[in-house]
A = this chain, B = another copy of it.
Amino acid sequence: MITTDTRIPAARLAAFAARALVAAGLPAADAEIVASLMAEADLRGSDTHGVIRLPIYLRRIRAGGVNARPNIRVIGDRPSAALIDGDNGMGHLVMRRATQIAIDKAKATGIGWGGARMSNHAGPAALYAMLPLDHDMIGIYFAVGSNNHLPPWGGAETLLGTNPMCVAVPARDEPAIVLDMAPTVAAYGKVRLKAQRGEQMPVGWMIDRDGKPLTDPKRADEGYLLPIGDYKGYGLSLIIGILAGALNRAALGRDVVDFVKETGKATNTGHAIAAIAIDTFMPPADFKHAIDGVIRDIRNSQRLPGVARIFLPGEQSHTKYLDRRAHGVPMPKALRASLDAVAREFNIAPLE
């Protein structure tokens, strides 16, 4: 796990992000919530969804594309479900609020569901799906991706996104099972990484406008991501888009705004979170013990030749979390330079 990158304690990363967000106009308490969720993403190894996104978040706030001081409020309310209007605030604030509402409702009724509209990019799905774990609940999260890279199966128009879903299940002595996935074979960030490194993509990640395999990541704009399981991944992306987007009167399909290209425009991003209280079904301690057993059965099961270890969903992120909490978050030079540029732009103390 040792890399040649400098390591930065997560608390210092969070403090820097909070300074920048305050400088951009967020109230201090809100800035701290967003910054600590961003650092949490980096701790869990979500290198493409943590502090690396700070510059684009700040650019969007400056351009008026994100409301720095939103009035987040519940606009639809039933005992076990709610619709939350994020007032175009930072997605982290909106989804933390929506998740808290879902947890409260699950405590009261057994299951709680929070849908959010007029939200924004909120970082990795696991941040929210994992919040119910401490309350002996299972968390389920869906979101509409921040831009469209996926056509319907057979299609040549990117009406759908890499809409992510995450399910988090608590265990007792083992780390929680956390499945955090997009319904495409490759995430778009992986395509960008291949381009940066001058590498080719494997066949199966993307196709071009003729439906032929596209392997040159520099030509990614001319092609489409492929869904997992062909029509199945297309169906999953659509369903996630409906649960997170259409059901919340949030953007889906042609209404999706590319949040990098159109920095001044509200995205009306939609998300959904569900919390399922385990105590309807059995004492939570029994459930978590049973999940430990499931985890160990899988980990210790027979392996194919050449396979060194069978991983559970979320296990590798958990290992990164332990390493990074102890030794800090790796800070590549390019990321450090972009955060230094933020410090100069906002006239704040740089990352220590």
Chain A interface (Cβ < 8 Å from any Cβ of B): 76-83, 105, 108-113, 115, 138, 151-157, 159, 167, 169, 177, 179, 181, 183, 185, 207, 209-211, 228-229, 231-236, 238-239, 242-243, 246-249, 252-254, 274, 276-278, 280-282, 287, 290-291, 294, 297-298, 301-307, 309-313
Partner pick for A109 among B109, B152, B157, B290, CB 8 A cutoff: B109
Known: A80-B109, A110-B79. A298 touches B232 (CB 8 A): no
In whole angstroms, how far apart are the Cα atoms of A136 and B249 in the complex?
Answer: 16
CB atoms of B81 and A109 under 8 A apart: yes
CB atoms of A154 and B111 under 8 A apart: no
CB atoms of B239 and A159 under 8 A apart: no
Known: A155-B307, A302-B156. A294 touches B242 (CB 8 A): yes
Partner pick for A301 among B151, B243, B291, CB 8 A cutoff: B151
Please give, as numbers and ranges, the residues of chain B lying within 8 Å of A290 by CB-CB distance: 246
CB atoms of B76 and A280 under 8 A apart: yes
| Nearest B residue (CB) for A78 | B110
CB atoms of A236 and B179 under 8 A apart: yes
In whole angstroms, how far apart are the Cα atoms of A297 and B151 in the complex?
Answer: 11
Interface centre among A153, A253, A301, A305 (most CB of B within 10 A): A301
CB atoms of B77 and A280 under 8 A apart: yes
Known: A301-B157, A305-B211. A109 touches B79 (CB 8 A): yes
Q: Nearest Cβ in chain B — how far from A98, in angstroms?
A: 13
Please give, as numbers and ranges, the residues of chain B lying within 8 Å of A81 by CB-CB distance: 109-111, 276-277, 280-281
| Nearest B residue (CB) for A314 | B235
Please give, as numbers and ranges, the residues of chain B lying within 8 Å of A252 by CB-CB distance: 294
CB atoms of A281 and B156 under 8 A apart: no
CB atoms of B78 and A109 under 8 A apart: yes
In whole angstroms, how far apart are the Cα atoms of A119 and B30 in the complex?
Answer: 48
Please give, as numbers and ranges, the residues of chain B lying within 8 Å of A113 by CB-CB distance: 110-111, 276
Q: Nearest Cβ in chain B — how far from A292, in angstroms?
A: 11
In whole angstroms, how far apart are the Cα atoms of A112 and B274 in the complex?
Answer: 12
Q: Nearest Cβ in chain B — how far from A71, in angstroms?
A: 19
